[in-house]
Chain A
Amino acid sequence: MQKINKNVVLALLSLTSLVFLLFQLYYYKFYLSQKNGAVFSKVRGSQSGQDSTRWHVVRKFLGLIASHNIPVYLIDPLILGLVDKDIEQIKSSPDGPSPECKYFCAPRDFTTFALLDKTWRHEMGLFRTAEKMGFQWLKIINKDPRLDGMNDLSGIEIPLHYIFKLASHAIHLVVFYERSGNYLWHGPLRLKQHMDRKFVPFRKLHFGRYPGAYEKPELLLVSIDDLKVQIPKNPSNFLEEMSHSRFLECRYREARAFFQLYPDDASLDAVEFRKKAKSLLHLAALTLNNLGVKFWLSSGTCLGWYRQCNVIPHSKDVDLGVFIRDYKADIIPAFQKAGLPLKHKFGKVEDSLELSFQGEGDIKLDIFFFYEEDDHIWNGGTQAKSGKKFKYLFPKFTLCWTEFVELKVHVPCETLQYVEANYGPDWKVPVKTWDWKSSPSNVQYNGVWPVDEWDDVIQIY
């Protein structure tokens, strides 16, 4: 009996599965071929391992932009990654025909190019030609952040992204804009309500989740897979930059609201202080960048950026943060060379290091070194006369780019937590009297330096 059951079950199962399988094969083909979009191409690609559609689309696109004299360069991270491996070979044979399609044939949904603004204005003609060539296009515009800081200019939108789609492949063209602070910026990709959300699988785009900031790249004309394209001269640098390029815009609207509540100090002293603070920050940034030391705006300077997009006129100093792992012994001589003598040095590399440099006209540049622990980050403070140590705790943070007084600088991406840790929930209210030992809400008493170390850990000039 058992045996009979087993066979019956077996037969029945086989039958149902056969039917099911047939149905599914049919459905699979029907449903997916109808989509005819990315998914299908991917399936086909993974079967063949090659995708000449992509190569053709890229070639057509390059033809299109060449016919309109629009200089673009390749920033597709996947291709640049491959190119980087063979960079020497590619550089050495700029014109040679390539035996196989190595770069532009890997099956992908899109290829990413960059465009520097300034270089074009009449896009309608381009779109028309593109349409004639069979491209579908999508343009993503948004507010011009370069004018966002100004309260009363409005209605200015600039193109941030273009997508040209042909068959199953799309070209993502990211528009880079030059901004104050000598860097390039690209905007986030945000769809407006009426836009076609299925135009391409937006999620998978390599650029556009966040705005990004980049150095101006040097370009190189190369021929890869028989296509002539411009690429960043140093692809690995570019890729490295890309991995932490996220950019935060200053909160201009909130800053305006702040100034509504607390009108800006327009006195001559304030103007003068801001001017000096700005040039001190520029000098400090130049010095640290030359040394390759990564830094960010900290304490009052960070608060000024976050709250009012400007230097707080009564802050009287400029504060920077540096991870202790980035510490270099050359920092002090480099600043001295730049005309900023060391004013005091507290702590040591192992513990609570803090450097102060004397800027022009009473302005102090403070560099706090930050120590990373498992669940928090901290920096130290030292009271000179008593040798007391203090510790300021911050939640962990990562670094983002921003623009501040015409400078591209880092700030903690999680700025609100950072500012709140430092200044408490009332950071929006300006405070003129500030005691660094007691006012911060994240300060902890951290013992006293042993007296025999004082000469080393408390140096005042």
Chain B
Amino acid sequence: MDEWKLNPAIKPHKKRSWYLAWKYKLMNQRTLRKLCQTGAVLFLLVTVIVNIKLILDTRRAAYEEEEESAQDYDDELLNVEVPRHPVSNKKVLDVEVYSSRSKVYVAVDGTTVLEDEAREQGRGIHVIVLNQATGHVMAKRVFDTYSPHEDEAMVLFLNMVARGRILIFTIKDEGSFHLKDTAKNVLKSLGSQVAPFLSWRDMWTFVGKKGGELYGEKHAKSPALSTWGDPVLLKTEVHLTSMEDAECHWPDTELNRRRKRFCSKVEGYGSVCSCKDPTPIEFNPDPLKDNKVFDVPVAVIAGNRPNYLYRMLRSLLSAQGVNPQMITVFIDGYYEEPMDVVELFGLSGIQHTPISIKNARVSQHYKASLTATFNLFPDAKFAVVLEEDLDISVDFFSFLSQSIHLLEEDESLYCISAWNDQGYEHTAEDPSLLYRVETMPGLGWVLRKSLYKDELEPKWPTPEKLWDWDMWMRMPEQRKGRECIIPDVSRSYHFGIVGLNMNGYFHEAYFKKHKFNTVPNVQLKNVESLRKDAYETEIHRLLGEAEVLDHSKNPCEDSFVPDTEGRVYVMFIRMEQEADFTTWTQLAKCLHIWDLDVRGNHKGLWRLFRKKNHFLVVGVPASPYSSKKPSSVTPIYMEPPAKEEGAVAVPAVAAAEQT
């Protein structure tokens, strides 16, 4: 405020008469002048203060704006979003379809969506389903209609596809040999004019809309039995419809939003996408009373078999006592469709970069999944491990809830498994009965965290070792003499037919006839007697009351076991030492149970059912239970057949197959 006083050198301004008059007047009134001066000074002061405040405020505001974006709040990773192609408003798709003996391809708007020129595979009819509004590929299938029954699968699939979808067909190599009339009629109903006359080694391409127009069809007849028809190339245009028409009008709920997302992306899941009465995707099974496994994480190990995963998750989510929040699906590879399935059910899924090949890849996927599970659920003492090709019994969690405390308390246990390797339709009977076995069946099992963290994880087979994780887990170095608890009647069912170690023949022979429990709330009866010592007492009691069968008869014959029900029988087979399974393997073979390696044994004892009687097999003299053998009985010896020529080499593994 001194400024103006100290500033005498300011030049006088041009005076004007009114100003001068006013000034002199003021000069004569000193008090008034003083007042004015103080007033002005005060005024100036206020201005300065307001000014400063304003500057501060605006600066702070500006500072905040800048600083909000300051470095430490920025993601260090530049997430450069790939600019999405604007949803093309184009109403027409150019479709190219090629069919020939050795190569097929389909291109939509210049993008190849199918190309198969691999030798010795991909024979048959390739089908592609496009979304009629977006043109996106919703499903891709190949049906080897050269082979039997594949046409039935194709009909099933085509029936599941929603009306209005665009269907593209093309044949590679041969697609007519087992294409029956039913299938031909279905194709005809889709608008194909050629399908009824398709014959040996014809080339054929067809684009149509389900329940609607035919967009194009080309056909080349095979001139002779030994030659193929000329390659055909179909170029056609498909008119897209509006999004509205392509969708169902379900009520707007959270569930239906998931359904809508799913159904606009993929095809081939049947009634889940029906506009009318779609099948539910939430199941709300009854909760379990006193559920001991409600907080146990469930890891679902999956590959790229989305249809399997769909079936598996349905059964899992329908099991009583399931807790969807604890379920994580681990997908081996960056496949979209399995992830779509996971999201349809509102579960969480994690994708895993494939490491290594074949069995080692599965092993690495298992390891990553188990580690991730225990990281995600640090409180968990156990994890339930499932695979994508299993049906889960309705009382799966009830079974675990009743038995899991054993795994916690009994150090001599290795796992609890829902699967009985020897539990076939004709050899399993009692859903309330549990066993202890020296083998690790897998296929739906419970792993103790301490076992994984302290023992298995640190020495898990590395990627370059082409080992099966389950075979590795069965090795004595890992198992250390510990046993698994299994039910007599399995709580899981293995339905996978395609897989790494799996094919139709193998499945038919070893898995199809497996017994699977469908009774809810089974009360397990001998849980406490499964502890290490109690089980021995139990076995001795059982052997004590068992009737010795007639060892002069052929054990493979049905008549070996009397036509009774609910009795306990025992037979003795020869077993020179602990690892001598010669007779057992032959017996297993003729009983049509698992014979590829030894499963389900406990100290040289096998327990199964025959004709609804409990049937015990004791290996003499290796088994400690040999003492129960009456001296008059000679253990049965069965010789392995002489080496057959060209014996079928079947992989001795069945637990870990994945594509």
Contacts and interface: CB of A to CB of B under 8 A. Distances in A.
A73 B345 CA distance: 29
Nearest to B375: A146
Given A7-B26, A14-B44, A180-B378, A25 B50 contact: yes
Contacts of B376: 144, 146-147
Given A192-B75, A268-B459, A181 B378 contact: yes
B370 to A, nearest CB: 11
Contacts of A202: 68, 73
Contacts of B18: none
Interface stretch (B54-62, B311-319, B509-517, B548-556): B54-62
Interface string A188-219: 01111110011001111000110000000000
Nearest to B460: A266
B254 A125 contact: yes
A39 interface: yes
Contacts of B324: 121
Interface stretch (A149-157, A348-356, A421-429, A434-442): A149-157
B44 to A, nearest CB: 6
B81 A194 contact: yes
A153 B69 contact: no
A18 interface: yes
Contact of A10 (B40, B51, B64): B40
Given A153-B352, A266-B462, A9 B7 contact: yes
B201 to A, nearest CB: 45
List the 5 closest pairs (A to B, CB-CB), nearest first.
Answer: A152-B353, A180-B378, A190-B75, A197-B69, A17-B47
Contact of A5 (B12, B37, B72): B12
B43 interface: yes
Contacts of B74: 190-191
Interface residues of A, number: 69
Interface of B: 4-5, 7-8, 10-13, 23, 26-27, 33, 36-37, 40, 43-44, 46-47, 50-51, 54, 57-58, 60-61, 64-65, 67-70, 72-76, 78-81, 254, 257, 324-325, 334, 346, 348, 350-353, 355, 364, 368, 371-372, 374-376, 378-379, 453-454, 458-459, 462
Given A6-B4, A153-B352, A197-B65, A118 B462 contact: no
21 contacts: A5-B10, A7-B23, A8-B13, A10-B40, A11-B40, A14-B44, A17-B44, A18-B47, A20-B47, A31-B58, A124-B257, A142-B75, A146-B372, A146-B375, A149-B375, A150-B372, A179-B375, A180-B374, A181-B378, A193-B78, A202-B73
A239 B13 CA distance: 66
B350 A153 contact: yes
Nearest to A143: B77
Given A13-B40, A192-B75, A201-B64, A8 B12 contact: yes
B375 A266 contact: no
A128 B36 CA distance: 63
Interface in A122-160: 122, 124-125, 142, 144, 146-147, 149-156
A153 B50 contact: no
B377 to A, nearest CB: 8
Interface of A: 1-11, 13-14, 17-18, 20-21, 24-25, 27-28, 31-32, 35, 38-39, 43, 118, 121-122, 124-125, 142, 144, 146-147, 149-156, 178-182, 189-194, 197-198, 201-204, 208-209, 266, 268, 271, 274-275, 406
Contacts of B8: 2, 5-6
A406 B257 CA distance: 39
A237 B54 CA distance: 40
Nearest to B51: A24
B73 A191 contact: yes
B61 A35 contact: yes
Contacts of B334: 155
A14 B40 contact: yes
Contact of B57 (A32, A180, A406): A32
B72 A209 contact: yes
Contacts of B368: 150, 152-153
Contact of B353 (A1, A25, A153, A194): A153
Given A13-B44, A38-B64, 6 more contacts: A7-B26, A18-B43, A180-B375, A182-B379, A192-B75, A203-B68
B431 to A, nearest CB: 33
A153 B372 contact: yes
Contacts of A27: 54
Contacts of A25: 50
Contacts of B69: 191, 197
Contact of A275 (B26, B348, B378, B454): B454
A367 B325 CA distance: 42
A350 B189 CA distance: 95
Nearest to B252: A128
Contacts of B46: 21
Nearest to B81: A194
B458 A271 contact: yes
A268 B477 CA distance: 11
Contacts of A146: 372, 375-376, 378
